[in-house]
Structure 1
């Protein structure tokens, strides 16, 4: 017994027609898709009239009891045997997989919610099967990491980086502030002269001031590289990701990214640090890159994930809610046992 309410639906086998679904199968003659169907089920089709008996060939008596022409009159014809026609799998069913038991030809799967988009391969023009909802994306059997977990992990990493950058740039910071103290009086004199209506020359920073500024940006990028790339390459997790129980894995193989992918992943937004002093262009680029997962509804990948072919997933948790360990480099212990049919990997064709 199906959960689909009886009614008129477009026939998935022939989208140009519509037929009556009685809860178990299609009944009645088809109607054009644009025709107005009756309020209830179609009237029963009249039984076909039996053909008139005809004389046999070469003086043989006419057929009797449904026998063929020339069949002996004292015998009843044996009904012909028809080999059962195999029912094709439902539209969109994985190639090579057996169809579900009892699948009726052309019938939508029972229990799919109304209004959900139809499954892949569903005939064009047919109503979405009631109850269908797309399966959650599970790259290599693991759920995608949530936006909140990724945001908190990034904040933790930025906090750790801030401490490391201040330590690495300590000497440059002292020299920079000394140059800044010599430069600020020139700025004050310029502003005072401008208020008096004069036309003073704009004070220019010394070459050493610009050099120290660039040097600190280079050191910041180097510290960021040394902090993030080796961790992502070896385990797919920085300090923030480890605390939040999320991990970056390869989209195609589900393994830890390795150095090349980790470098490509960092390079897209890490090098932009060198352009912070260029009207904030580098900082704006990094902000847009951080928001880019919001615009990827399928795999929630940032631009740097797309370049490196990685995806961030949520590691499974134990009974207490704590994330399980990420495992040794180059492996993915959170990945379930291999599925020969690949049905647990629902990356949606991006493999």
Structure 2
């Protein structure tokens, strides 16, 4: 089988796998929420009249057998109906996603940029100086970023740079009393750039600094370890030794000849990092009171807002599934060494 045919077969198989991945996420979320507690008591309180509890139970469909609830839920999802909040009556999950998701997108994109830049820089530096203090420092950085709790690191940055030094705001997405640049994306940085409002761009980045550094630095250890390990192996390759023998300066050998190939596995890690970003966004947004969808999910969990938790989790699951498959396909195109 030729590579082009094998590649088409691989892409098709990954696309066909997407519904199965999403169905698995949907089923797990459905079952976990059914065993996590009674949303009726959480919403109305244990002292509410039994008639009110029964009415809400019927409204939510919780009076039906579990299998029937599951079938009804799948039917609603096939119609792209994620449900309606039981705490904020009349507010659908899609309206919540529309209002809160842009803030999460902005935070995760900047955090991803921070994690890639910091991770690749430290990993490259450590790999180019093996068995030295720099190499040991790179390994230590990877261990620390993996072990440090995200909420603790966020609170440390808040205390040092927000309270003691007063350099950055410690919460919210924009300065209270000021209005961000109106735009169709909901991303303050993008909307400010499009309209040339660099004063508002500065405010948006000022508020983004601490949350994105918290999430980005702690996830950069993933890229640091991947780059350090792969770059060390690449620097021992024959074509790298041949480049050195031709008298090419070491920095050019590392940056141009070795790093380019060492970065190929990083593309694969990007798909896994998206899931980590969304998971870390919950803790980061809760720590910084960031008005994103992950923080809205945290509030829905705290208030036992059953449909909102279910809908947002399915939405996040769909994003992770789609992103993972897209990264796999991209990696298959750029890495000719992959076999299918």
The question of a shared fold, defined as TM-score above 0.5 by the shorter chain, is answered with no
* Greater relative contact order, per chain length (Cα 8 Å cut-off, separation 6+): 2
Select the structure of larger CA radius of gyration. 1
Greater per-residue strand proportion:
1
Normalising by structure 1, we get a TM-score of 0.29
